[in-house]
Amino acid sequence: MTDSFRKPYPAIEPYRTGRLDVGDGHQIYYELCGNPDGLPVVFLHGGPGSGASSQHRRLFDPARYRILLFDQRGCGRSTPLGSLEANTTWHLVADLERLRILTGADRWLLFGGSWGATLALAYAERHPTRVSGMILRGVFTGRRSELDWFYEAGANRLFPDRWENLLGPIPDAEQDDLLAAYGRRLNDPDRAVRAEAARAWTGWESATVTMRTGRGGEGASSGPVSDGTIAFARIENHFFSHDLWLEEGELIDNVERLRDIPAVIVQGRYDVVTPAITSWQLAQAWPRADYRMVEGAGHAFAEPGILNELLKATDRFAGKA
């Protein structure tokens, strides 16, 4: 029953904010919230290309956690906005290590959903001794089958009307490779071309991210397109066009490296963006992973059933349950 679903923790403000120069011309925004002496946790936002928000602070008990949120390279409040230079999965893994050292955490809890789960797995497999635990939601591992599902043949069969909006800016002759076709437009020198492509790209995600879309399900289909929206679409396309700089299947193949790390994996049964098969396969290879399938839920962290399981997981790692 929905009455039993947990609500997020009350809104809080950071006690420290800053920008970390990570080289290559990038400065990443970070903030620390909650208890300065609490259990270290880092929130890894999705996309790639979106950014952390004040809502993400509310996933953790501020009395028990020292919460680090940051905007990855080119995202949100990090600069330069939308930059693709020196912006790969492994640059971001290195940035995470820099942030861990900056905050003085010997080990920390990783919390990530969707692309954030990808980055959490990549980091943990490189630095398993620095990870105390993991909370993952809507797991995405960057395999070709996962990308093809969302951008070639799969999700379009469930959302044929919304798929037409994604195809809209792309001529028929280029529709056999949407990632490449969008890449050309999202990097066009004409901002109007970039904006049109970003509107369609982000609209497709907005129409599929929750189990029930809003009125019209159009997402970012009208109004001006912000620089942030263009940056998000460019970075996401950039990563997907390069297979996230991962070897095919490596994150699941290397899960043995995480054998000593406890984890909670939260998955919406009707997640169309990152279907359950990926998180299920990961959990089957990871004995210490507690797998939580949420009925009646899609991909977004804010769906009541998903949010409820995430809050229970953060409480459990904090020793409250």
Picking from 77-81, 201-205, 221-225, 239-243, which range would have the lowest pLDDT averaged per residue? 221-225
Asked if residue 40 and residue 62 are part of one domain, the reply reads yes
Q: Say how far apart CA 206 and CA 202 lie, in whole Å.
A: 6
Asked if residue 149 and residue 98 are part of one domain, the reply reads no
Do 134 and 109 touch, CB atoms closer than 8 A?
yes
- Whether 271 is a known active-site residue: answer yes
Average pLDDT score over the chain: 95
CATH number, domain containing residue 312: 3.40.50.1820
Question: Model pTM?
Answer: 0.95
pLDDT at site 320: 72
> Which tokens hold the place of 94?
């290195």
Buried b (16+ CB within 10 A) or exposed e, 245-271: ebeeebbbebbeebeebbbbbbbbebb
Burial group, residue 111, by CB count within 10 angstroms (0-12, 13-18, 19+): buried
- Reported as a single tens digit per residue, the pLDDT across 299-312 is 999 999 999 999 99
Please tell me which residue in 50, 78, 83, 114 is annotated as part of the active site: 114
- Whether 114 is a known active-site residue: answer yes
Among candidate residues 247, 278, 285, 246, the one with its CA nearest the CA of residue 263: 285
Picking from 66-75, 205-214, 250-259, 288-297, which range would have the lowest pLDDT averaged per residue? 205-214
Asked if residue 198 and residue 60 are part of one domain, the reply reads no
Asked if residue 229 and residue 175 are part of one domain, the reply reads yes
Asked if residue 179 and residue 100 are part of one domain, the reply reads no
Picking from 185-189, 218-222, 238-242, which range would have the lowest pLDDT averaged per residue? 218-222
Of all residues in the chain, the percent with pLDDT exceeding 90 is 93
Asked if residue 32 and residue 73 are part of one domain, the reply reads yes
Asked if residue 205 and residue 157 are part of one domain, the reply reads yes
- Reported as a single tens digit per residue, the pLDDT across 83-92 is 999 999 999 9
Asked if residue 157 and residue 116 are part of one domain, the reply reads no
Residue 215 has pLDDT above 60, yes or no: no
Residue 82 has pLDDT above 80, yes or no: yes
Please tell me which residue in 61, 238, 271, 279 is annotated as part of the active site: 271
pLDDT at site 220: 47
Q: Say how far apart CA 28 and CA 3 lie, in whole Å.
A: 39
| Beta-carbon contacts of residue 254 (< 8 Å; ≥ 6 apart) | 125
Total structural domains within the chain: 2
Asked if residue 277 and residue 253 are part of one domain, the reply reads yes
Give the residue from 192, 222, 244 where a domain finishes.
244
Give the residue from 244, 269, 298 where a domain finishes.
244
**Residues spanned by the domain of 163:** 145-244
pLDDT at site 183: 98
CA 140 to chain centre: 9
Asked if residue 137 and residue 277 are part of one domain, the reply reads yes
Give the residue from 218, 244, 270 where a domain finishes.
244
Asked if residue 222 and residue 92 are part of one domain, the reply reads no
pLDDT at site 2: 46
Residue 41 has pLDDT above 60, yes or no: yes
* pLDDT band (50, 70, 90) for residue 153: confident
- Reported as a single tens digit per residue, the pLDDT across 96-139 is 999 999 999 999 999 999 999 999 999 999 999 999 999 999 99
Q: Which residue has the tokens 């991210």?
A: 209
Helix residue spans in the chain (DSSP H): 54-57, 89-103, 115-126, 144-151, 160-167, 178-186, 191-208, 227-241, 250-253, 276-284, 304-317
pLDDT at site 321: 58
Asked if residue 159 and residue 201 are part of one domain, the reply reads yes
pLDDT at site 180: 98
pLDDT at site 1: 40
Among candidate residues 98, 127, 239, the one with its CA nearest the CA of residue 182: 239
Residue 214 has pLDDT above 70, yes or no: no
